[in-house]
Chain A
Amino acid sequence: MIEVLNPTAGPATGKIVMAKRTGTLDGQRIGVIWNGRPYGDKVINSVIDMLRQKYSFESVVFRKKPYIGNVAPVSIQEEIIDSCDVVITGIGD
């Protein structure tokens, strides 16, 4: 009988949980983070336009990540946290 070791690593920060739901989008401050992929801005803006037909937003802040593969820079994260109630983002091409 021999003992060998598991070579894997798990997430460093533990379980990721869903953000708190706001209930409605009426009166909310919306943050948008575009991952920078071509035409992603057009897709997200179309979503915003569709949502505007149903809800009345207080404001929309639109930001672009410098590179798709990185998490958004801290400055963008902080700005969105400070100035928005809801964030819309997406991944992919």
Chain B
Amino acid sequence: MANPLIAEHLSVDNLDAAMELYFERGWTDGLPVVPPTEMKVMEFLDYAGLQPDQPIGNVPERDRIITAEHLAINAVMAGCKKEYMPVLVASVEAICHPDFRFNHMATLGSAWPMLIVNGPMGKELGFNSGMYLLSAAGSRASSTVARAISLLFWNCTESRPDGIQRGQFGNPGRGHYCIAENEETSWDPLHMMLGFDREQSTVTALSTYPGPYQVYCQRTASPELMLDSMVDAISTYDFYRGTYLLLIPPHFAELFIQYGWSKHDVRQYLIDNCKRSVADLKRRGLWGLHSSEYDGFAGVAQEVEPGDENRYAYVLKPHEYDRIMFDDTTLMRRTDVYVVVGGGNAGPRLCFIAPYGVSTDPKTVAIRPPA
């Protein structure tokens, strides 16, 4: 049994008044919340075997410690079931882990963490891995866990537009990006690729820029052709480092498998081919733009020199022009492609989601069963 709660208690006349109170205080994202009563919050804490003041995550940049009580209150508000608490705890641990470090809440680029649930709990709890994967699809687990994380940071770190959030366009994934992987193909799921056992459920947090980019890829005469539109899309996006997420619907995964391609092969093809010529980068004013060392005048079209058309800079692998193309903070970070099976089992498209890779790496955390 959990100790008494620490949070301020507020008296209201009825449920309607309670919902209005959260709007008035700015404690909600603009949608109504489930009013968090002591009884309901205690149920969540007891299910998870957590004490109210138990620290779950530390956000030093905001001088905040997120406790089990903060998490449970916001989870109730978001409409979660108590059974989601272990996933929520692992999600906060991943987001607050020093490898991930949610130190970029204020970025103009509107980065927001995507959560990927792997292992048996993905299916058991009903996280969406199929149709309408990245939006409200009727999965209570996906929708409310994503919203709980959004509300938690809204309320506990002022990650909101009238607080410290300064994103230009916002991130439509906020409150939505919580998916499971479809683990029914013969490919190893993401958590196994990262060294976990199949039966160990995990959450992976990945910091993403706004916008899933669906790319028409249905030229199935070869696996290379299936990926070439994706290569074009990633190469002409921001040309920036980080860990990209590639979502492959199950029927496409089966095609790759029939061609004898593993997830590693798909990943390697993107790594080897996402590139732009030095000439192209110079013409676009991208040459040296983000570099910590380049002392030329970047940001304008630069003179193309002989041979530049046949020299390439690569988005996803180390190369000789790294110090010209990327700043030193980015170069300290992980560059990768996480290949995840998910989405509707029909249709001609693959999807990639671009990373915020400047100061963060993805982090995968094991979900611990309730104590």
Contact = CB atoms under 8 A, between A and B. Distances in A.
Contacts of A71: 60-61
Interface string B309-336: 0000000000000000000110010000
Contact of B10 (A4, A66, A69, A70): A4
A14 to B, nearest CB: 9
Interface stretch (A5-13, A48-56, A82-90): A5-13
Interface on chain A toward B: helix, strand, loop, or mixed SS? loop
A71 to B, nearest CB: 6
A18 interface: no
Interface residues of A, number: 21
A5 B73 contact: yes
A5 B38 contact: yes
Contacts of A3: 9-12, 37-38
B49 interface: no
B368 to A, nearest CB: 23
Interface residues of B, number: 45
B35 A67 contact: no
A7 B155 contact: yes
Contacts of A5: 5, 7-10, 36-38, 41, 73
B106 A13 contact: no
Nearest to A36: B329
B258 to A, nearest CB: 44
Interface of A: 1-13, 16, 36, 66-71
Interface of B: 5, 7-15, 18, 21-22, 27, 35-38, 41, 58, 60-61, 63-67, 70, 73-74, 77, 101, 103-104, 106-107, 151, 155-157, 328-329, 332, 358-359
22 contacts: A2-B13, A2-B18, A2-B35, A3-B38, A4-B36, A5-B5, A5-B9, A5-B10, A6-B8, A6-B10, A7-B7, A7-B27, A7-B77, A8-B27, A9-B65, A10-B64, A11-B63, A12-B63, A12-B65, A16-B63, A66-B329, A70-B101
